[in-house]
A and B are shown apart, each in its own frame.
Chain A
Amino acid sequence: MPSLKDLKNRIESVKSTRKITKAMQMVAAAKLRRAQESAEASRPYAERFNAVMAGLAASVGGSDSAPKLLRGTGSDDVHLLVVMTAERGLCGGFNSNIAKLARQKAEELRGKGKTVKILTVGKKGRDALKRDFGDLFVGHVDLSEVKRLGYSNAQDIAKDILSRFDGGEFDVATIFYAKFVNVVTQIPTAQQVIPASFEESEGDDSGAIFDYEPSEEAILADLLPKGVATAIFSALLENGASEQGARMSAMDNATRNAGEMIDKLTIQFNRSRQAVITNELIEIISGAEAL
């Protein structure tokens, strides 16, 4: 049975924990709104880009002259997994869910006898995968200094990946991130970026026949690297919103649990205080009776 003083200390410490989690929840809520806004702002670009690329890829894709980024290298022996996670923890299952998906994929590929290489973006994913796949790491992108994600961050990552591709370091690249659905739901997603695959958009001016300036091939060659950057940028923004959403609900839970714990401890505290008082009374009365 803990003493009254111990209980009081516990209650105080849980109370301050609750204050911290509450504050983190509110900060996450504010950041979430911003992250969602920038994710929405980027959507028109990505959608139009993919629509045009889908059209281009469909008309050029079949030929042998198609760029390597679209056609692939012809083999799929070496896979690059780009695992994008957060720089910070305390956001529920967000980081571990992405890491889990990446781990499954890596093991599956290794089971098929493929070579796996891993590029991590964000510290937490690196930490999570280090023990099992530490020897497969080929690089790491640190975004902890970045206050607000910009397109240039995505461009830097894309440039790194593309130079590795040009250097023949891998055949297939897949990015891992969490798609933001709502505050409680984020879906870990794997998306292949090299060779590029574009979903056919439905009915979007597919009937129109375009003039291309310069040629179709030249445009495609120019735009494919940008497509990688665009895919990474959208993934980064989705990830940013997901992280804040996950943190918000995790901290909401933590705040509620702390509240419950405080209630329980307060009842225990009151009961033991009452017991002490009763004890003292009994002692006084029995002392008086003995006289």
Chain B
Amino acid sequence: MANTMHFDLVSPERSLASLEVTAVQIPGADGDMTAMPDHAPTITTLRPGLLKVEAPEGSSEYLVTGGFAQINGDSLSVLAEKAVPVSEITRSHMDELIAEARASHEAAKGGDDMSIVDEAAKLLADMEALGTHMSL
């Protein structure tokens, strides 16, 4: 069994990471999951959250929103609409994201489609939890 697999993190604007990793924790739409080498091939959509990457050289964390992850046995690609290394995130960054989530929540409230409202509320809660988690 291979100890590492290839991991790619790409956003539309740039490619953020491409390296060999031992495990990656993915914020999947149905809950977090950790992908390790020889994981069953899976495609999952992402909810906004933290992506934790563990590589032999050390671990790193990224904030990702929207997109999906494609897991093969020997490689893992995460395509996120927005991806930022946690070390680069500042309070104002976070505020911006929360404000965005709140705005879409407010916009959705006006509509009559309850599922959209729920989704937006969940997004907002996710965002706020994330901010607290990073103690910003």
Contacts and interface: CB of A to CB of B under 8 A. Distances in A.
Contacts of A208: 41, 72
A213 B28 contact: yes
Contact of A210 (B11, B28, B42): B42
Interface residues of B, number: 26
Q: Chain A interface: which size bin? A: 20 to 34
A226 B81 CA distance: 8
A89 interface: no
A contact patch SS = helix
Interface stretch (B12-20, B52-60, B120-128): B12-20
B79 A45 contact: yes
B13 A38 contact: yes
Contact of B10 (A48, A155, A213): A48
A230 B79 CA distance: 11
A44 interface: yes
Contact of B12 (A45, A52, A205, A222): A45
Given A45-B10, A213-B30, A226-B81, A218 B45 contact: yes
B12 A42 contact: yes
Contact of A213 (B12, B44, B66, B79): B44
Nearest to A230: B12
Given A48-B79, A205-B72, A226-B67, A42 B13 contact: yes
A219 B79 CA distance: 13
A214 interface: yes
A209 B66 CA distance: 23
B29 interface: yes
B72 A44 contact: no
B10 A44 contact: yes
8 A-B pairs with least C-beta separation: A213-B44, A151-B12, A211-B42, A208-B41, A41-B14, A45-B10, A210-B41, A210-B43
Interface of A: 38, 41-42, 44-46, 48-49, 52, 56, 150-151, 154-155, 205, 208-214, 218-219, 222-223, 226, 229-230, 233
Interface of B: 8, 10-15, 28-30, 33, 40-45, 66-68, 70, 72, 77, 79, 81-82
